[in-house]
Amino acid sequence: MASACLVGVNCRYNGSSKISAPLLEKFLGGEVIPFCPELLAGLGVPRTAMQMEGGQGFAVLDGTATVKTVTGEDRTAEMVRGASMAADMAGAVKPETIYLKTGSPSCGWGMHKGKEVVGVTAALLARAGHTIKAVE
């Protein structure tokens, strides 16, 4: 499985993608299944950019942090729902590795622009024991 924006799906908040050439090759070879937790949650494209407040993805799952749009609307419920749907998908697919886009409040995993970002979906997938690789 891989964040859909990494294989060319224009599902980022601003309607763009962030293609990773090696992952696109895997996708075209039938080796990865793309998914976008924010689309699964029904947030649509384009959408207002979001950020975590009060903690990272693990804290959002634990109810001690939130996700809000940059204009202040609470999207915590949608982000947790999208994470849950992605986790259900991973539970069915049982991928060897899940490739996630860095820096995202959903898919973020590891360092991005000098700080660690762990998104809500990434946190749930990690808690479920999946192997995650971060892709810029």
Q: What secondary structure letter does DSSP report for 21?
A: H
Residue from 61, 107, 118, 135 in contact with ligand SF4 (CB under 6 A): 107
Q: Which stretch binds ligand SF4 (CB under 6 A): 51-59, 61-69, 70-78, 98-106?
A: 98-106
Q: Kindly tell me which of 53 and 112 has the beta carbon lying closer to ligand SF4.
A: 112
Out of 3, 20, 56, 66, name the contact with ligand SF4 by CB under 6 A.
3
CB-based contacts of 133, cutoff 8 Å, min separation 6:
97, 98, 99, 100, 109
Beta-carbon contacts of 2 under 8 Å, excluding residues fewer than 6 positions away, are: 23, 26, 27, 32, 33, 34, 35, 98, 99, 100, 135
What's at 13, amino acid-wise? Y
Choose the stretch contacting ligand SF4; rule: CB under 6 A; options: 20-28, 89-97, 103-111, 127-135. Answer: 103-111
Closest to ligand SF4 by CB, 76 vs 106, is 106
